[in-house]
Amino acid sequence: MVTILEVDQNKKKFVSVRWKLISTYLLLILITLIVINLVICKTVFNIYIEQEKNNSFSKANIISNRVRHQLSNDRMDEKWVQVSIDDYSKEINSRIIIVDNSNIVQLDSHNSFLGEKFYHDEIKAALRGENSSGIYNFKQSGRVMYIAVPVILNDEVVGATFLSRSIDHIYYEVRHIWRKLELISVVSMAITAIVVFFLAGVIFRPLNDLKYTINKVTQGNFKEKVHVYSNDEFKEVAEAFNMMISKLEEVDNQRKDFVANVSHELRTPLTSIKILSESLINQDTFDQDIYKEFLIDIDSEVDRLNNIISDLLVLVNLDKEKLVLDKKITYINYLLEKIIFRMKVIAKQKDIDLNLKLNEKIQIKIDEDKIQQAIINIIDNAIKYTDIKGTIEVELYKKDKYAIIKISDNGSGIPEESLEHIFERFYRVDKARSRNTGGTGLGLSIAWEIIAYHGGIIDVESQLGIGTDFYIKLPLKN
């Protein structure tokens, strides 16, 4: 018994791209074959008709030459003329009628119209000195060709010779050719359908592999890859899809690392707050100094939680559809002075010397708050990875069409293999050290996206053990 599922699967087969391609291809072949058959039959028919017409004109001219003297001298009633025309009529299987220049029938191989006037269009044309022909279809006699040629004597038209002959045999022959072409077309279509069916299976096999791999990927299996060994568009699609899978796998791994990192970052301050608060609750005596020390620690852990949550909220809002830039003409020199003043407090905690060098006065149109956040993220990152009593220098200058803010430190540096990844979300060069410094791997990614939304770029140069240089490049003109 056929189930509903099997019926649905069969329906899907016949609406698949494979079947659409096969049906379209066969339809195009069918239309092409029909057009070719019609052209062949029409051409053959025209050739047969033209041959028949030329042959009939030749025979009619022969008759005209035979009877021109008799017709001119009114001697068409001579016995030999009648016998000769009757015999020739049977020989060429045509009816022969000869009229004088007054349209009166002087001789008829069927003896039906003798003495009557004939006004056929072909005879009228012949009496004007023109060869004429026509094809007619009669119910009783079928398809007939009429031929008329002038009878000329001493450059004068003295009458006309009219031939009437059946051309049904031409139509029968053309119909026979059409049937043969139909048979050839049917056989060709059948062979083509079989070949196309199997070729389509071979051509669309990579598509089935791609579909299989997509189903695996949707189940979370990023190890699957599409293997296509051809050199066509399917291979390009497969390569692009494999690259996408690799990227998804990378993003998924980063997500897992990020979840683990954030979980650790959130758990650590929460655990500290929990321990400190329980210690205060379990105190039998009230010691103001101890309470104050514990509350300061709790406040520090709360600030740490706020920083993590703030970075996550900023990352969510850095969606192109949500981010709205409030651009205003901003004096970059003043903005940097304000940032350095704020960050020096943090730098002093590690006895780091934070310096500002303003080479030029620059005003550009930016979203001041967001650019400030990007610069602070990079400086804060430099402070975290610069050893105690280190140096960080911030420099402002112009180059080409950019206002450049250079942030240099003499910290630990970034490994070369990590340089291309440091602006990726959730990426952290040294996971263990990042946890100790409170990093979430979002600061540089946030900075990169803010600068990118302003039409700028961030370049970085670094050497292990020597330091790192960040170049924030903002366009001077929007």
Per-position pLDDT tens, the chain of length 478 = 444 444 444 444 545 667 777 788 888 888 999 999 999 999 999 999 999 999 999 998 988 888 888 887 877 777 778 888 888 888 888 899 999 888 888 888 888 888 888 888 888 899 899 999 999 998 888 899 999 999 998 888 989 999 999 999 999 999 999 999 999 989 988 888 888 888 777 776 777 777 777 777 777 776 777 776 667 676 777 777 778 877 877 777 777 776 776 676 677 677 777 887 877 777 777 677 777 877 887 777 787 778 767 766 766 666 555 667 788 999 999 999 999 988 888 888 889 999 999 988 989 999 888 899 899 989 988 898 888 888 999 999 998 899 999 999 988 888 888 888 888 766 666 654 444 555 556 788 888 888 988 889 999 998 888 889 999 999 988 6
Q: What is the pLDDT of residue 337?
A: 92
| Same-domain pairing of 141 and 163 | yes
| Same-domain pairing of 243 and 336 | no
Q: What is the pLDDT of residue 441?
A: 65
Q: What are phi and psi of 262, to 5 degrees?
A: -65, -40
Q: What is the pLDDT of residue 323?
A: 65
Spell out the SS3 assignment of 228-269: CCCCCHHHHHHHHHHHHHHHHHHHHHHHHHHHHHHHHHHHHH
Q: Which pair of structure tokens corresponds to residue 323?
A: 């981010």
| Same-domain pairing of 468 and 350 | yes
Which CATH number is 447's domain given? 3.30.565.10
Which CATH number is 257's domain given? 1.10.287.130
Q: What are phi and psi of 357, to 5 degrees?
A: -125, 115
In a domain, 15, yes or no: no
Identify the burial level of 166 via C-beta atoms within 10 angstroms of its C-beta, where 0-12 means exposed, 13-18 middle and 19 or more buried.
Answer: middle
The answer to whether 132 and 61 are in contact (CB under 8 A) is no
In a domain, 183, yes or no: no
In a domain, 205, yes or no: no
| Same-domain pairing of 155 and 256 | no
Q: What is the pLDDT of residue 7?
A: 42
Q: Which pair of structure tokens corresponds to residue 406?
A: 């250079």
| Same-domain pairing of 277 and 368 | no
Q: What is the pLDDT of residue 199?
A: 78
Q: What is the pTM of this model?
A: 0.49
Q: What is the pLDDT of residue 50?
A: 92
Q: Which pair of structure tokens corresponds to residue 305?
A: 């939680």
In a domain, 388, yes or no: yes
Residue 104: domain span: 65-170
Q: What is the pLDDT of residue 478?
A: 66
Q: What is the pLDDT of residue 162?
A: 92
| Same-domain pairing of 376 and 395 | yes
How far apart are the C-alpha atoms of 340 and 407, rounded to whole Å?
11
How far apart are the C-alpha atoms of 180 and 157, rounded to whole Å?
47
